[in-house]
Amino acid sequence: MRGTWKAWAFLKLGLLTDISYKLSFAFQVLDILLGIAAFYFLARLLGEKTPQGYESFPFILIGMAVNGYMTTSLVCFAEGIRGDQLMGTLKAVLTTRTSPLALILLSSLYPFVRAAVDAGLYLVGGMLFGLSFGQVNVPAALLCFLVSLPAFSGIGILSATFTLVFKRGDPLLWLFGSLSWLLGGVFYPLEVLPPFLQQTAQLLPITHALEVMRAALLSGAPVAELLPQIGVLALFGFIGLPISLIGFCLGVRRARVTGTLSHY
Amino acid sequence: MSGAAVAVQNLTKTFPARKGLKTLLRCPLRPSGIEVLRDVSLEVRPGEAVGLLGPNGAGKTTLLEILSTLLLPTGGRARVCGFEVVNQAAHVRKVVGYCPAASQSFYPRLTGVGNLEFFAVLNDFRPREAKEKIEMVLDLVGMDGASHAPFQWYSEGMKQRLSLARALLTDPPVLLLDEPTKSLDPLLQGEVRRFLRRTLVEKLGKTVLLVTHSLAEAEEVCDRLAIIYRGKSLSVGTPQEVRKAFGGGDLAAALERAVGAER
């Protein structure tokens, strides 16, 4: 029960802070809708179908939604730490009865909810531009969402550890953020890339998340058909998440030794 | 030692320092670091108020941060209510209320009450319990309706009071207070000092470890004083004992002589 109250406290903190900047909050929503419109017209220009038979507009739209979600997973943990360092609240929360591990996980709740709302906005906004989801496989999409979460979060928590220990210059965020954008298949199918880059793309969780999400939302592919990609995503989470959590605990310990918890 | 609220034995803290290229090439194996605490020993009895005095950079805040589990010591032992700060940090956090020197340790867009509710839940309070407790501590530190305004609008005095209120939320037996009257006007300072002495120490029986640069405050609030200089504990005793140990006169003169002898 205490965990639930704590989760609610973090959600409330994020929401109250977010809506206290009313204009920014409204513009973020508007930004998504304008982005959808831009991609709609860009897709009309491209016109062609992808090798998997998807129309360009839904292909890009799902790419944007999943990429947005992944970006949140990558940055929210580090942003939470950095925000607390800047406000001077990091030491205050670390002297409470909540463990650092619980704190880092709970601090990501609101950004994840926001990212889910944003992803939903992409899909709803797409429907305003005539996108239809006639063949959606909801369980497969939900399963993909659930296994992607730990896969992306593992990298995000390691990134937060970098922020805690080295303050700036996080190579993981740069590596996964930029490579996912370039090789993950957000805007174009992997087939347009040279073969060696297609193979490199398999090392990125977003590649598999996008394949599964598009197949589930645009062609209604059954879970059984998507199991290999879902398995790869689960493996990313299974290996990455425990490593990142151990890394984070070591990072907190390191900062307690060096006295740099609140440095930024 | 076993009955002490705070027991510190030969505590040392060295912060790792980066070696310059020259030093690295000349003596690559020589350990480098900034020694902030050197063999500090101190015992605070339950219900006692002890003041930590010393110039800036003496190691006073470092000692409080070790006791509040924010820092790990390099050597020695420190216990709060019998719990080791290194191996029993979670237990220590249950018995300690920490009021940091920096008053900017709250979420600026949240109200004072909103901030306290957040920290109360992180300290395992249920929201309803938290509300009652918050009312009580706000009353105790003398904060009225302004606690419903966003924290970023607060004056320094209100921020300090809120910080004190947060330290009291869990009703901890031990309070670690780092310059709690730093930015307050003289009237408010007097009020807070009386609150620390009469309410917290005498009425509620709290153990207080107080870092201060105000010698008048130290004498008014504390039963005993510890002078720390360059990470070393120079003297621990009642204000009279400290004055006597360093040649008599007032506390300022004694402190000057204590520090001067070490220079």
Contact A244, A165 (CB under 8 A): no
Percent of chain B with pLDDT over 90: 70
Handedness of CA B93, B98, B101, B104 (dihedral sign): positive
3-state secondary structure B36-66: EEEEEEEEECCCCEEEEECCCCCCHHHHHHH
Q: Say if A179 is an interface residue toward chain B (CB within 8 Å).
A: no
Nearest-5° Cα angle at A247, A245 to A250: 115
Measured between CB atoms, does A9 come within 8 Å of chain B?
A: yes
Q: DSSP letter at B108?
A: T
Nearest residue of A to residue B63 by CA position? Answer: A259
Between CA A232 and CA A229 the distance in angstroms is 5
Which residue type sits at B136?
M
CB contact under 8 A, A96 and B123: yes
Q: Which pLDDT does position B235 carry in this prediction?
A: 86
Residue percentage of chain A with pLDDT more than 70 = 100
Chain A to chain B Cβ contacts (< 8 Å): 87
Determine the Cα–Cα distance for residues B192 and B194; give it in Å rounded to an integer.
5
- For residue A147, give both structure tokens: 């296994």
Separation CA A35–CA B207 (nearest Å)? 59
pLDDT of B83 reads: 97
| B166 to A92: CB separation less than 8 angstroms, yes or no | yes
How far separated are the first and last CA of chain B, in Å rounded? 31
Q: What is the mean pLDDT of residues A156-172?
A: 89
Residue whose entry in the numeric block shows the structure tokens 């305004």: B149
In the predicted structure, residue B1 carries a pLDDT above the cut 70: no
Decide if B15 and A5 are in contact by the 8 Å CB cutoff: no
Per-residue pLDDT averaged across A229-235, rounded? Answer: 96
The mean predicted confidence, pLDDT, of chain A is: 92
Residue B2: band (very low, low, confident or very high) from pLDDT cuts 50, 70, 90:
low
CB contact under 8 Å between A89 and B94, yes or no, is: no
Q: What is the mean pLDDT of residues A158-177?
A: 88
- Contact residues, chain A, for B83 at CB < 8 Å: none
Lowest-pLDDT choice from A122-126, A218-222, B38-42, B247-251 = B247-251
Note the pLDDT of residue A71. Answer: 92
pLDDT at A212: 95
What pTM was computed for the model?
Answer: 0.91
pLDDT band for position B8 (cuts 50, 70, 90): very high
**Average pLDDT for A117-146:** 89
Q: Mean of the pLDDT values across residues B148-158?
A: 90
Query: Which burial class, exposed, middle or buried, applies to A191 when counting CB atoms under 10 A from its CB (0-12, 13-18, 19+)?
Result: exposed
pLDDT at B248: 77
Q: What is the pLDDT of residue A38?
A: 92
- Total residue length of chain B: 263
The Cα B260–Cα A113 span in angstroms is 59
What are the tens digits of pLDDT across the range A70-90? 999 999 999 999 999 999 999
Domain extents in chain B: 6-105+173-262
Q: Give yes or no for a contact between A131 and A58, defined as CB atoms under 8 angstroms apart.
A: yes
Q: Which residue has the higher pLDDT, A141 or B260?
A: A141
Note the pLDDT tens digit of each residue in A196-215. 999 999 999 999 999 999 99
Closest Cα to residue A50, out of A37, A38, A41, A60?
A60
**Chain A residues within an 8 Å CB radius of B114:** 16
Report CB contact under 8 Å: B107, A6: no
pLDDT at position B31 is 66
Judge: A20–B109 Cβ closer than 8 Å, yes or no: yes
Nearest to B70 among A9, A16, A256 (CB): A256
Q: What pLDDT is attached to residue B80? A: 98
Tokens 């197949």: give the residue. A215
Tokens 């490579």 sit on residue: A179
**Test mutation, B67, B118, B122, B159, chain A, max A CBs within 10 A:** B122
The two three-digit tokens of residue A10, written as one number: 């973090």
For the record, the structure tokens of B4 come out as: 């002490």
CB proximity list for A83: less than 8 A, separation 6 or greater: none
Residues B75-81 have a mean pLDDT of: 97
Cβ–Cβ under 8 Å, residues B200 and B208: yes
CA of A157 vs chain B CAs: smallest distance (Å): 21
Helix (H, G, I), strand (E, B) or coil at B129: helix
Closest C-alpha among B150, B144, B146, B181 to residue B164 = B181
**Partner A contacted by B100 (CB < 8 A):** yes
A169–chain B nearest CA distance, Å: 18
DSSP-assigned letters across all residues of A136-155: --HHHHHHHHHHHHHHHHHH
CA distance B69 to chain A (A): 7
Region A125-149: mean pLDDT is 90
pLDDT exceeds 80 at position B27: no
**Contact at 8 Å (CB) between A120 and A128?**
no
CA angle A63, A80, A207 (to 5 degrees): 20
What pairing do the DSSP bridges indicate for beta strands B75-80 and B6-16? antiparallel
Q: Quick one: pLDDT at residue A263?
A: 86
Contact B70/A91, CB-based, under 8 Å?
Answer: yes
Q: With left for phi above 0 and alpha for psi between -120 and 50, is residue A259 left, alpha or beta? A: left
Three-state secondary-structure class, residue B235? strand
Element (H, E) at B34: strand B33-44
Residues with Cβ within 8 Å of B180's Cβ and at least 6 positions away in sequence, in order, are: B99, B160, B163, B164, B192, B196, B210
CA atoms A216, A219, A220, A224: torsion sign: negative
For residue B28, the 8-state DSSP code is T
The three-state secondary structure class of B150 is: strand
Overall CATH class of domain B6-105+173-262: alpha beta
Q: Is B15 helix (H, G, I), strand (E, B) or coil?
A: strand
> Which whole number is the average pLDDT over B4-11?
96
Half-sphere exposure of A192 (CA within 13 A, CB side): 12
Residue B14 touches chain A, beta carbons under 8 Å: no
Q: What is the pLDDT of residue A139?
A: 93
Q: Which of residues B174 and B189 earns the better pLDDT score?
A: B174
Please provide residue A100's backbone torsions phi and psi, each rounded to the nearest 5 degrees: -55, -35
Is A130 or B214 the better-scoring residue by pLDDT? B214
Which among B69, B70, B104 has CB closest to A87?
A: B104
- Over 80: is that where the pLDDT of A151 sits? yes
Q: Is the dihedral of CA B60, B63, B67, B71 positive or negative?
A: positive
A259 touches B at CB < 8 Å: yes
Neighbours of A120 (CB within 10 A): 12
